[in-house]
Amino acid sequence: MPQPFRSTLARERGGPGRENDGARGGFDRRTLLRSAGLAGLFGVSGGLGATGCAGGDDDAVTFFFQARPEEARARLRIIDEFQRRRPDIRIRTIMSGPDPLQQMLTYCAGGKCPDVLMAWELLYAGLADRGVLVDLREFLDRDPEYAARLRADGYATLRDTFVWDGGQYALPEQWSGVFVYYNRKLFDEAGIRPPVRWSQAWTFSEFLTAAQRLTHRDPDGRTRQWGFVDAWVPYFSAACFGMNNGCEWFSPPVRPTRTNLGDARFAEGLQFYADLAVRHGVAPSVGDRQSVSAQDLFRSGRAAMLMGGHWLYSEFAGRDDLDVDVTVLPVGPHGGPGAITDIGSTGLAIAAASPRREQAWEFVKFATGPEGQAIIAESGLFVPVLRSAMGSPGFAAAHPGLRNLEVFTEGPENSRPLAVTPLWGKVEALLERGCNRVLRGAATAVSLGGQTSADIDQLLGAAV
């Protein structure tokens, strides 16, 4: 949400937001922020530093994360409230650049590893495998009552994403799986009623029919309204369509030994996604995406549906010229009955080399526990990872215009992992090369079952 990090860091997935930001010249959503404005933001809040590991209070717990400015403000609310309750523990922030994994490894190799690290579900395994992260069972086992409450209030799908070789190397802090935003006015004018829950998914055929009815062209053939646009990384989106046709992307999802690109069900789902642009013309082509962003098309009413995550909500909510709601992904003939999405979770981890483990744990416990999650819920910028926060009045109040809030509140339980492997960077490079040919119409999805799958399987197999 790279390189191999372009996709994963586009999502704030705080952000992997896993976005192709339209014209591809700039950083994606969850990457390098407008540093001047961000430095100003942090400069007025408790003496928090914006970048680097040096300077400031040497006794402070350092917290490394990535976020857009408005998301950083939400994090500051959590930090400020924590420090109000625990004035004995100071927090100093370190903002990530465009390549957070490399930045973290550089810090840690130099003996300046931040105490608390933001963890991405596609990236953390590489750090855990290198011994960079603490197994949080060290703290959870010490407080079994709290651990039991956290387990009961949370979602196993998200929590287990950060389990590697039996260890819990991060605790989830937000859910950011993908779904479909839609323009309610355009849907009403077309007489289309989309599903409101993951368990009531529409079919590929119904989705395509809706997109066709919502695509309008001028007499000269120019498209003035697209049925569907994608604000995520296209080959990740295509994978979700494959997964919704009854086949996981990698087997097993954690420490996979093979990819299922060659499975006929997965290939059919991936091809369906590609054909929205290549064959049916209801979505912009790869070339079209270079010149205008999906968000701009959707905001301006020139697209009826947009695939993305909650990281985009603040861009669409509260606009007088946009009546927006959310719906779920479609399912193919071999999928269902309900729809699924990617887990898309970020978490908080503690560095193994931290000299402030106990203080760091207190902050992680607060931010990922009921108090911090309540703040996240009220901010409207993230989807919390605890049921108590998800069902709170604050979370509903933060989304006043949505009728289909269940797409968010039921999202974690209907999420599935993409892949958790220390080799993700190398795997993604192979995926990107192969999948992008399909998305351009230069190859079929079935062709990925050949050399691309063989290369990925060989890479994964060598690590077993």
CB 438 within 8 A of CB 445: yes
Say whether pTM exceeds 0.85: yes
Distance (Å) of CA 441 to CA 217, 226, 238, 278, 447: 22, 19, 13, 6, 12
- Burial tier of 279 (Cβ tally within 10 Å: 0-12, 13-18, 19+): exposed
Residues 301-327: pLDDT tens digits?
A: 999 999 999 999 999 998 999 999 999
pLDDT bracket for residue 229 (50, 70, 90)? very high
Tokens of 190: 């077309």
Q: How far apart are CA 400 and CA 347, in angstroms?
A: 27
Residue 120 one-letter amino acid:
W
> Which of 267, 236, 224, 172 lies closest to 16 in space, CA to CA?
236
DSSP 351: B
Q: Name the percent of the chain lying above pLDDT 90.
A: 78
Tokens of 315: 């861009």
CB 236 within 8 A of CB 342: yes
Q: What is the DSSP string of 374-423?
A: HHHHHHSSSB-SSHHHHTSHHHHHT-TT-S-THHHHTTGGGEE---B-TT
DSSP 455: H
Residues 421-445: pLDDT tens digits?
A: 999 999 999 999 999 999 999 999 9
Q: What is the DSSP string of 382-394?
A: SB-SSHHHHTSHH
Query: Kindly report the CA angle at 444 between 443 and 445, in degrees rounded to 5?
Result: 125
Question: What's the chain's average pLDDT?
Answer: 88
Report the pLDDT averaged over residues 134-155.
Answer: 97
Query: Kindly report the CA angle at 314 between 439 and 243, in degrees rounded to 5?
Result: 35
Q: How far apart are CA 272 and CA 106, in angstroms?
A: 41
CB 7 within 8 A of CB 24: no
